[in-house]
Amino acid sequence: MAPSPGRLMRVSAAPTGTVLACIPHAGAGVSVFRDWPRLLGEQVTLALVQLPGREDRLQEVLTQSLASLVAQLAGELLTLAPRRLVIFGHSMGASLAWAVAGRLWDCHGVRATLVLSAQSPQPRRLGDLRPTADLRGWFARMGEPYPEALDYVEVRALFCQAFEHDLAWMDRELAQAPAGPYPFDVHGLYGRADGLVDREAMAQWATLTTGSFALSEIPGGHLYPVSAQQQLVDYLKPILVNGKRHAATVCP
C-alpha cells in the first residue's frame, strides 16, 4: 500500500471501477486494513485514510476542524474519479464517513454508498468516560480481549496518546447531530458482543437516509473489524462487486 501524493489517503492502485474508502476507529491507522488488498482482490481500489497522530504520522496531532478535514477528504476522493464510491467507517470513522458523503453530495452531486460500523449518530462525550484510566475495564466493556502488549509502558503510552487525542477531537468536533436526511444507501453494522454500540443505536442511522437501510450483526465486540475480519470482508464483497443491497442479517 503506497502513499498517495498527500499524507491523508493511501491508495492501493489506479482506480478503474469501485473505490472503497476506509476510515478507522479512534487511535487506529491504516494498518487495521493491511490484509484487505489481498482479501478483496484487484476488482476494488482501496483508499485508506491515515489521520494525524498514528503510525507514520505519530508526531502530528489531529487539530483540524471537522469541516476542514471533511473538505480535504472529499477533495482527495474526487481526484480518484470513482465510477462508484463506497465509504466504510468504523466507530469514529463512521461519523467521518457520513460527513464526507454529505459533503460529496451537497457540493458535487456524488452519491456514495455507506457502510457505517459501531457508531451511534447521536453525539456523546466519550472523553468524559476516561477510558485510558482503566484500559482493562474499557476493553471488557467493548467486548474485546485486553491486548497484553499494552502492559509494556512505551506501547501503552503511545496508544493512550493517540486514543486520548482522538476522543478529545470527537468531543469537540462531533458534538452536533449529523446532517440529513440524505439519499444514501446505508448498511449499518454492529458487533454482537459490543457493550458500547448496540443494535438500537445503529438503527438510528435509518432516520437520516431516504435511501435503503440494512442493519446487520457481525460476531465480535467493538473491534470486530480486527477479530472478525473475514466475515466483514465477506459482507462487503457483494456490495463492492455487484452493488448488492443487503437485507438485515445476522452473520455467522
The DSSP line for 32-45 is GGTTHHHHH-TTEE
Dump pLDDT digits (tens) for 169-195.
999 999 999 999 999 999 999 999 999
The Cα 97–Cα 109 span in angstroms is 16
Q: What is the mean pLDDT of the chain?
A: 89
Bond before 15 cis per omega within 30 degrees: no
CATH assignment of 9-123+176-250, among 3.40.50.10860, 3.40.50.1820, 3.40.50.800, 3.40.50.11540:
3.40.50.1820
pTM, 2 dp: 0.92
What integer is the mean pLDDT of 233-244? 86
Dump pLDDT digits (tens) for 100-156.
999 999 999 999 999 999 999 998 877 677 888 899 999 898 888 898 999 999 989
Cβ neighbourhood burial of 192 (10 Å; 0-12, 13-18, 19+):
middle
Q: How is residue 147 annotated by DSSP?
A: -
What integer is the mean pLDDT of 47-51? 95
What integer is the mean pLDDT of 35-47? 89
Considering only residues 151 and 15, tell me which one the structure prediction assigns the higher pLDDT. 151
| Residue extents of the structural domains in the chain | 9-123+176-250
> Has residue 251 got a pLDDT over 60?
no
> Has residue 41 got a pLDDT over 90?
no
- DSSP E strands in 30-129: the ranges are 44-49, 84-90, 113-117
